[in-house]
Amino acid sequence: MSGTLYVVATPLGNLGDLSQRAAELLKTVPVVAAEDTRHSQALLHHLGARPRLISFHAHSPEHRVETLIEILRHGEDVALVSDAGTPVVSDPGASLIQSVREAGIKVIPLPGPSAVTTALSAAGLPADRYLFLGFLPRKGGERKRLLAQAAMSAWTVVFYEAPPRLADLLTDLAEVAGADRHAVVARELTKMYEEFRAGTLAELAEHFQAVEPRGELTVLLSGVGVTPPVPTASPEEAATMAADLLAGGQTRKDAVRELVERLGLSRNDAYRIVMELK
């Protein structure tokens, strides 16, 4: 009998997010196909697992798919993992899964973390319908077409982006969607320095031109006609909360972020309230 290809979601950062089912599988499966074997080795070491590791990424040679299919045909199970989150979602794996299915071999998903759904769950934007565009091309006609599609979407649009290109993405979106369109940048999800920064595209572009971002980034653009969050507190209540945050040891920068995230204030209003406190 053939083995089974398991598509295994792994943590975005916090190892506690690995499901018990995924942990048990990775501790027993004989072969793991990993996007980056060195990265996955750290997770496997944490679990005390010692499977055979095979590199499988976007630039793997074509025969690597056949190698994995032969392993499956000989009755060994294989777990497919990416560096973080759910494989195939802006990660390699689709060609392998298609070929495995065409070979009549079973494919079983083990669901778990995904930066898309994690960011949507805490961004404060509608998530009943959304458009996921992943990483845009760096330049050219396809980039322009996708930017225009994002600008016209009635749904929340989700992107992935690399830190050096974040400011360019926000600037390009501001040009096609309008500088006042609301957006959220989610950074380092589930990790120690996790951050959600909300504001207009102009505000976010200005911020990330001045402050170089680090870590994994997910960008969420509000849909056409979606209004920014309505503040849930009066200026007096916001000032009281800001004073409490500062008294509790928060920096002014952190206090501004808290007011934006918890009260729905614009970054400019939150900054003004915090800076006016004596």
Q: pLDDT of 135-179, one tens digit each?
A: 999 999 999 999 999 999 999 999 999 999 999 999 999 999 999
Spatial distance between the Cα atoms of 104 and 114, rounded to a whole number of angstroms: 28
| Confidence grade of residue 271 (pLDDT, cut at 50, 70, 90) | confident
| Confidence grade of residue 230 (pLDDT, cut at 50, 70, 90) | low
Q: Given this model, what pLDDT does residue 232 score?
A: 62
Q: What is the mean pLDDT of residues 80-91?
A: 93
Q: Given this model, what pLDDT does residue 231 score?
A: 59
Per residue in 21-34, pLDDT tens?
999 999 999 999 99
- Provide Rg for the chain, Cα atoms: 22
Q: What is the mean pLDDT of residues 263-267?
A: 75
Does this model's pTM top 0.95? My answer is no
pLDDT value at 13 more than 70:
yes
Q: What is the mean pLDDT of residues 56-85?
A: 95
Spatial distance between the Cα atoms of 190 and 39, rounded to a whole number of angstroms: 17
Spatial distance between the Cα atoms of 17 and 113, rounded to a whole number of angstroms: 7
Q: Please report, for the chain, the start and end positions of each structural domain, with discontinuous segments joined by +.
A: 5-113, 116-221, 235-276
Choose the CATH number for 5-113 among 3.40.50.720, 3.40.50.2000, 3.40.1010.10, 3.10.20.30.
3.40.1010.10
Q: Given this model, what pLDDT does residue 270 score?
A: 85
Tokens representing 237 are: 């209540």
Choose the CATH number for 116-221 among 3.30.950.10, 3.30.428.10, 3.30.70.360, 1.10.1300.10.
3.30.950.10
Q: Edge to edge, what strands does the sheet with 156-161 contain?
A: 130-134, 156-161, 217-221, 182-187, 195-200
Provide the mean pLDDT of the chain. 92
Q: How many helices (H) and strands (E) does the chain have?
A: 11, 10
Q: 145: part of which helix (H) or strand (E)?
A: helix 141-152
* CB atoms near residue 135 (< 10 Å): 12
Tokens representing 73 are: 């045909």
Q: Are 191 and 14 in contact (CB under 8 A)?
A: yes
* CB atoms near residue 258 (< 10 Å): 18
Do 116-221 and 5-113 fall under one CATH topology?
no
3-state secondary structure of 13: coil
